[in-house]
Structure 1
Amino acid sequence: MLDPNSTVLVIDDDPDLRASVGRLLRSVGITVEMFGSIADFLGSDLPDGPTCLVLDVRLPGQSGLDLQRELADANRELPIIFITGHGDIPMSVQAMKRGAIEFLTKPFRDQDLLDAIQLGLSRDRVRRESEKDLVALRERFSSLSPREREIMIQVAHGRLSKQIAHDIGIAEATVKVHRSRAMHKMKAGSLPELGRMADKLKLLHDKPQRS
């Protein structure tokens, strides 16, 4: 159930809380890294595998909500589970609207924390796999010739081979050859799949030129 490369990062200025959470997570086989402040966290490198952050709301200096905002502004997607010793409903609403996994009030149940962590790690795993797939898709697209790219985009817009041939002034048979090569290089099993790939690559924002 747990990815062996998963890591939970804990930021809390209470050493007793850090020790308690650390023991809990290690007891169920979760790798954990502890930080006493946001500054310590920002000075570290994020793990390579699925990761989530257990973050105290109230910290000396910069707050947990400030860090959530900072990470979002920097496009650093990291699932966050907030913990707080103060039941602050407006604060929790704000955190959840910004994408927090959970907002737990101390003292929280161990199982509630573990459930939230499992969800956070699962979401980060899916995100990482999606990003990996997109990188591979971009690499395949970069292997296409300029003509193959052009025809792939036209096909993705629903244009027929004869229409594409007329638009760019080549034979319909030549269009079909380029289309076949593009599908092979992109590893697309069908034209709809090629269209979905184009959509993922954001190639459909401009309409193709039509005569």
Structure 2
Amino acid sequence: MRIGILGTGNMADALATQWARAGREVTVGGRDMLKAERLAERIGGGVLAGGLRAAAEAGDVVLAALPFGAGAQVVRDLRAELAGKVLVDCSNPVGPGFRLLTEGGPSAAQLLAAAAPEARVVKAFNLCHEDVWRLRPPVFEGRALAVPVCGDDEQALVAVRALVRDLGCAPVDGGGLGRAGLLEATAALFIGLWVGEGADAQAIAPPLAHAAG
């Protein structure tokens, strides 16, 4: 499976590194070619560098590791290159005061789907800080990290589940793309608890055996 990465920031770095270690063919792309080249060189493992268009063309699966607000325009510009491909959105539309910027409207993932309607959009990898994705593997108290995945295309979901397993994580069915907004709202809540309150967000949920009463 070939993976194109749109972006050269921390999420792009962390996930591209792990997928390259898992033997995937990875191309990182950015507006700044020098940044893309430096990132590819640092990761090693045969990772290639290019512009955004080159990364979109190279991947069977394309990760949009882009800030909310920039992603939709970038994807719109690459609509032709993304047609028929799996497009993964890991962004979080969280603003000042840990406010959900998409409240009352389409989710960030749905905005990408509208910008590139021929792409098969999946929401994943948005609930954790990039440092979690650098762990080899992310296992806590003997349990692999669970990664919710939302999308409407089964073949696209199969591909993304495989990428989740590449990280040593366990994919979890989060429902269709219409539920991606729930993942983004969860991220806003968790970030507010972790960063704003210094609270343990895991402690708000009971064990599965007690979840339904």
User: TM-score normalized by structure 1?
Assistant: 0.39
**Structure with the largest fraction of strand:** 2
User: TM-score normalized by structure 2?
Assistant: 0.39
Highest RCO, 1 vs 2 (Cα 8 Å, sep ≥ 6)? 2
Compare CA radii of gyration and give the structure with the larger one.
1
